[in-house]
Structure 1
Amino acid sequence: MTNEKGFTLIEMLIVLLIISVLLILTIPNITKNNTMIRDKGCEALVLTADAQVQAYFLDNGSYPASLNELVSEGYLKQDTCPDGNSLRYDSASGKVTSPADEPQS
């Protein structure tokens, strides 16, 4: 019993306190940036969908009737942003926009 090695209860409590403080500092930053990450994901999806509309136009000679047609033909995997909003599409001009691009009323 003279050569017992290990951590005391006080040492373990100090380590848990340090880990708790680090979590308290980092979690609010992660949740604050979550909205920005979703917006950037939607912007990237708009650019991808716009490029795929042009690729469809080059392949078929006309714009698709809807974004669902791009999904069913395999040009896109999804037509909704990471925040759940659907992309807007104008079949006359072939322009794709996000719901955030529309003016607020």
Structure 2
Amino acid sequence: MKNEKGFTLIEMLIVLLVISILLLITIPNITKHNDNINNKGCEAFVKMVQSQVQAYEIEHKAYPQTVNDLISKGYLNPKEDKCPNGKDITITNGVVAVKDGSS
């Protein structure tokens, strides 16, 4: 028999076991950080929309009633009607807030 060098089946299974354990440890952490990132993105989006509300008020001497008013006048892109985490936003008396109870 020739002396062939290579990995045995046991060695390969041990490597796959270690990789699987590492993945099981890291995947929950990644999803937790993803939610945190989306929430921070929502906070930044609300601030950006608030600045657009102020610009709208300066030009039109009135606050917009809805986000659609900002979109129709060109202050926001049509795709920018929700936070990155999917929550809706509302405008009440010129104040932008995240709507409670939406997912």
TM-score, normalised to structure 2, is 0.73
Q: Work out the CA distance in 2 between the residues paired with 1:35 and 1:55.
A: 30
Distance 1:16 1:74, change over 3 A: farther
- After superposition, the C-alpha distances for 1:11-44 in whole angstroms (9 at most, x for unaligned) are 2112111110101111122233343233222211
RMSD over aligned CA atoms reads 2.3
1:51 shift after superposition: 1.0
Alpha-carbon deviation of 1:59? 3.8
- TM-score normalised by the chain length of structure 1: 0.72
2:85 — aligned with what?
A: 83
Q: Does the 8 A contact of 2:66 with 2:90 survive in 1? A: no
Letter in 2 for 1:84: G
What is the Cα deviation at residue 49 of structure 1? Answer: 0.4
State the 1:73 CA deviation. Answer: 2.9
The within-5 A match list for 1:5-84 is 5-77=5-77, 78-84=80-86
8 Å contact kept, 2:64–2:91:
no
- For structure 1, the residue ranges without an aligned partner over 5 or more in a row are 101-105
Q: Which runs of 4+ in 1 moved over 6 A?
A: none
> Please, which runs of 5 or more residues in structure 2 have no aligned partner?
none
2:98 is matched with 98
AA paired with 2:88?
S
Name the count of aligned residue pairs. 98
Partner SS for 2:76: coil
Between the aligned residues of both structures, percent identity stands at 55
3-state SS of the aligned residue for 2:56?
helix
